[in-house]
Amino acid sequence: MKADLESWIGAHVRTLEYLGGCPAVLVPDNLKAGVRMPSRYEPDLNPTYQELATHYGVAVIPARVRRPRDKSVVEVGVQVVERWILAALRKLTFFSLAELNQAIRELLERLNSRPFRKKPGSRRELFQQLDRPALQPLPGERFTFAQWQWSRVSNDYHVALDQHHYSVPNHLVGKEVELRYTATVVEVFHKGVRVAAHARSSHAGATTTVAEHRPEAHRRYLEWTPARLLSWASHGGPNTAAVVERLLEQAAHREQGLRSGLGLVRLGQWYDPQRLEAACARALRFNACSYRSIESMLQAGLDRLEQPEPTPLVPLVHENIRGGGYFEQLKEASHVN
């Protein structure tokens, strides 16, 4: 369908450029690339085809289904082209599309300049006399081929196109939107209003995100860096700074360290800085430097307890314990032997 639609639209663009103007009405068949839902009174056109009609200022009135007489003149023209162009090329071999197109163009010019058998003039002369004056001028810019598709905004406020994800305003999460995409641009529409536009990317699995599309909480989170986190911790005290440094160092990934550090920032909003500093001192003492451990200390009030002095290590003396000297003697004896 994609190739058929692109070929269908491209054929229209090249035909209008060859004619040098736009007719008032186009009368196509009811093929899917042009008409999504046939109707005698209000046919539903393909959105890209409707865009082309709007761009060139023409009306599209499809022929009735199974009514070839609605375009009998065109059917005769197709027969003429088949006999004078396709039949003439049927035994030739071409090695490139450009070579084939050049041969078709030469035969087309010859056909249009060929005199009629039963009346004076040629197709080209008749076109210049009757049709050319009735054509509207072409627009200043060539029509850009674009396609449309429906998509639903995911919980992370992104929509997917060809396995790449593009952001939309976060209030549209769960809503259906329309994607209009060209070779270079992706536009997102909601209820006919464009809500986002991105440069199209070919990187599958990657994400294109506009900062303004994020929720406020996400934007605040992304503003934190390791340097800013360490600066915040240094204002809380040396123990808080030491805990943050350890969290950043022991994390397997930078994102994990930042997330744990932001947990301390949240605790700093709930508890006095003095209490957080005391809890961090206790965490350092017991090697429990984690957000959960410090949160539990604050909830249980352990930060308010006096920290006991470290108990000095006293050698254990017992008659059955030989002590370190005994093994030193054995070591010296083994060297002598």
Q: What does each of the 337 residues of the chain score in pLDDT, given as a tens digit?
A: 444 888 999 999 999 999 999 999 998 888 888 898 988 888 899 999 999 999 999 999 888 877 767 777 787 888 899 999 999 999 999 999 999 999 999 999 999 999 998 889 999 999 999 999 999 999 999 999 999 999 999 998 999 999 999 999 999 999 999 999 998 999 999 999 999 999 999 898 888 999 899 888 777 766 778 888 899 999 999 999 999 999 988 887 777 888 888 889 889 989 999 999 999 999 999 999 999 999 999 999 988 887 655 566 666 666 666 666 666 766 666 665 5
The pLDDT of residue 2 is 47
- Whole-model pTM: value is 0.61
pLDDT value for 36: 87
Asked if 177 and 153 count as a contact pair (C-beta separation under 8 A), the reply is: yes
Q: Which pLDDT score is estimated for 316?
A: 66
Cα–Cα distance between 303 and 283 in angstroms, integer? 9
Sign of CA dihedral 218, 219, 225, 231: negative
Q: Are 239 and 284 in contact (CB under 8 A)?
A: yes
Q: Are 53 and 60 in contact (CB under 8 A)?
A: yes
What is the pLDDT, as a whole number, of residue 68? 67
In 82-177, which ranges are continuous DSSP H helix? 87-89, 97-113, 123-126
What is the predicted pLDDT for the residue at 331?
Answer: 66
pLDDT confidence of residue 1: 42
Where do the domains of the chain lie, and which CATH numbers do they carry? 2-134 (3.30.420.10), 147-214 (no CATH), 224-337 (no CATH)
Query: What is the predicted pLDDT for the residue at 113?
Result: 93
pLDDT value of residue 85: 94
Those residues with Cβ within 8 angstroms of residue 205's Cβ, 6 or more apart along the chain or in another chain: 163, 164
Indicate the SS3 state at residue 252.
coil
pLDDT at residue 165 in the model: 94
Residue listed under structure tokens 């990934």: 253
- Tell me the DSSP string of 146-161: -EEEEEE--TTSEEEE
The pLDDT of residue 3 is 47
